[in-house]
Amino acid sequence: MEQPAISDYGYLSDCRSGALVSRAGSIDWWCPHRFDSPSVFARLLDPNGGHWRLAPVAVGHTGHRVQRSYQPNTLVLRTVHHTAEGSVAVTDALAAEEGARAHEIGMRSPAVLLRVVEGLSGRVTMSLDYRPRPEYGLLTPYLRELPDGAVASVAGSMALVLRCTGLPLRVEHDRVRQTFTVDEGQVLGFDLAYAPAYGAEPARLDPVRALTDTVLAWEAFRESHQYQGRYPEVVRHSATVLTGLTYARSGAVAAAATTSLPERIGGDRNYDYRFCWLRDFAMTMRALWVAACPTESSRLFEWAARSIGRVGSDPVPVLFGLQGERDVSEHVCPHLAGYAGTGPVRIGNDAWRQRQLDVPGEVISAVWRLHDYLGDQLPVDLRDMVFGLTEQVAATWRLPDRGIWEQRDRERHYLSSKALCWVAMDRAVRLAPQLGERADVRRWAGIRDEIRATVLRDGFDERRGAFTGALGSPELDAAALYLPVVGFLPATDPRMRATIEAIERELGGADGLVHRWEGDPAGFVLCSFWLVECLVLAGERERAARLFERVSGHANDVGLFSEQIDPVTGAHLGNTPQALSHIGQVNAAWRLTDPILD
């Protein structure tokens, strides 16, 4: 089978786990226990990684045509196949708990994949190919037929049961593979239920009824969010995707649903993004606030405060597991070839060990964003956290670090890291009335001003005529676009204006995509939306709107973004769907609505 493009995949979520389904009807990725747990389907990363295909036999043949879309305001995906025999719809979802509505999704998810087939016209011959491979493809399960026509799969720590209403399923060695026909008006429902091997049995649902209930649950989510800005459909959809990347039991938002999708085919920057980054925290908070999602933003804040805990002299971890785990050590799966043969496939992410000096600034700025809602004095644990983070920045801001792009070669004095150290001290000074008597305003303000002077003196390269990626370096870096976004320097400042123009000229392109640095193989979606924000702040709102629409046009046919996009081919690259890309889109849409975002 030819490897589908990353943009060929739609995304399903139950706010516990995520699954990817291709235009050809194959579910090639699903980690059913939670986003960062072992997969049962991983053909996304290796032809033998496991999959579940359900589609017309005619897929890929002459005359076959596909239309797909999400049910409005949901992550329930409907794919219509038009063939020479007729037309059939397959609707896919990860089931919500029966009766769940809005924020209840994912709290007690049944971990069931739903697939409902509906004959629209003619008689269409369908193909089913079910081949689970648990533990990232390491295990071949025992499959056995059950008296009710279902198939049980048991291997290692998990059990799976595949059922269909009205179609007995037959095992063929290590898979279920059969054909059947669907007539106009006929409906067949499939459900694949997961459970730990040594616990309760997998849930049993009526797939048609469960699908209806899941649609209602998602619709209730969106009904509670009243976004009033520009591009409302785009913002609501991106907010839905962010909700679908949220692990509901803790409130953490995964950076993406996948691991090891490459930034460049044939490269080695393939990382596991199924965790929650503190860097993304403030950006996510801003996006959820913009999209009028107060419950999600407050739950995310609670997760961050609990995960960080008491702040000491050691650097705050860059990222955490979805329930606040600190050690997410990385290892390689040598048995998986990688997407399009691009290895290595990594599980875990060793960036958690890095020093990244921007992280406290992101967290403190998020506290500042919510300060109006937190009362005249912050709760004791929150005061301790802000105080500890501020003192940590005061003691460490002169050190080099790994930077916002988490470089794995050596530490440098990254411009964006220093600017976020300034943000930390600036927001701490503003929060001083709510921090109590320990707030050392005069000293903090002095350090804030010293950081600013250092960045302005050493971060601007006179020969290049721009702020660069690291102090004393001549190399451009699109992270400099973050300076106006966080309020470090106005976009109208001549030095910042020159930097925006240099980045647009040398790191941008006619397609609207902005590369992170010279030699970066593809456009980075978040940076492209940062440029939109910078243009708004520089007073070029009309040009910003045109750029916003051009960048938004790079989403796939169901409105999803990966991390990067090839400017030549338009191919999506990197993990998908990528939270930062959708966060960037939401924040840029609101910036076009109201330039005063903070």
pLDDT single digits (tens) 317-345:
899 999 999 999 999 999 999 999 999 99
**Residue 484 pLDDT greater than 80, yes or no:** yes
- Residues 563 and 524: beta-carbon distance below 8 Å: yes
Which segments within 132-269 are labelled E, that is strand? 142-145, 151-155, 158-164, 171-172, 175-183, 187-196, 246-247, 252-253
510 HSE (CA, 13 A, CB side): 1
**Residue 199 pLDDT greater than 90, yes or no:** no
Total length of the chain: 598
Higher pLDDT, 316 or 57: 57
- Residues 480 and 466: beta-carbon distance below 8 Å: yes
- The answer to pTM > 0.85 is yes
pLDDT single digits (tens) 268-295:
999 999 999 998 877 887 777 776 666 6
pLDDT single digits (tens) 124-170:
999 999 999 999 999 999 999 999 999 998 888 899 999 998 899 99
E strand or H helix at 70 = strand 65-70
Which residues are within 8 A (CB) of 540 and not within 5 positions of it... i.e. 6 or more apart? none
The per-residue pLDDT for 220 is 86
3-state secondary structure of 463: coil
Residues above pLDDT 70, as percent of the chain: 97
3-state secondary structure of 338: coil
The per-residue pLDDT for 109 is 86
Alpha-carbon radius of gyration of the chain: 24
Whole-angstrom Cα distance, residue 201 to residue 544?
Answer: 53
The per-residue pLDDT for 598 is 61
Residue 484: name the closest of 404, 523, 546, 539 by CA: 539
The per-residue pLDDT for 295 is 64
pLDDT single digits (tens) 303-323:
888 888 788 778 888 999 999
Q: Using the structure block, give the residue that is written with the tokens 């990860």.
A: 94
Residue 235: name the closest of 282, 280, 276, 288 by CA: 288
The per-residue pLDDT for 202 is 92
Whole-angstrom Cα distance, residue 442 to residue 462?
Answer: 32
**Residue 1 pLDDT greater than 70, yes or no:** no
What are the residue boundaries of the structural domains of the chain, listed by start?
Answer: 6-222
Q: Using the structure block, give the residue that is written with the tokens 């979606």.
A: 525
The per-residue pLDDT for 337 is 97
Which segments within 165-302 are labelled E, that is strand? 171-172, 175-183, 187-196, 246-247, 252-253, 276-277
The per-residue pLDDT for 102 is 64
The per-residue pLDDT for 293 is 65
The region that residue 56 occupies, defined by phi over 0 for left and psi between -120 and 50 for alpha, beta otherwise, is beta
Whole-angstrom Cα distance, residue 174 to residue 168?
Answer: 17
Q: What is the mean pLDDT of the chain?
A: 92
Question: Averaged over 473-479, what is the pLDDT?
Answer: 97
Query: Per the structure block, which two tokens stand in for 403?
Result: 């930077």
Confidence band (pLDDT; 50, 70, 90) for 226? confident
- Residues 315 and 259: beta-carbon distance below 8 Å: no
Residues above pLDDT 90, as percent of the chain: 78
**Topology of domain 6-222, CATH:** Beta-galactosidase; Chain A, domain 5 (2.70.98)
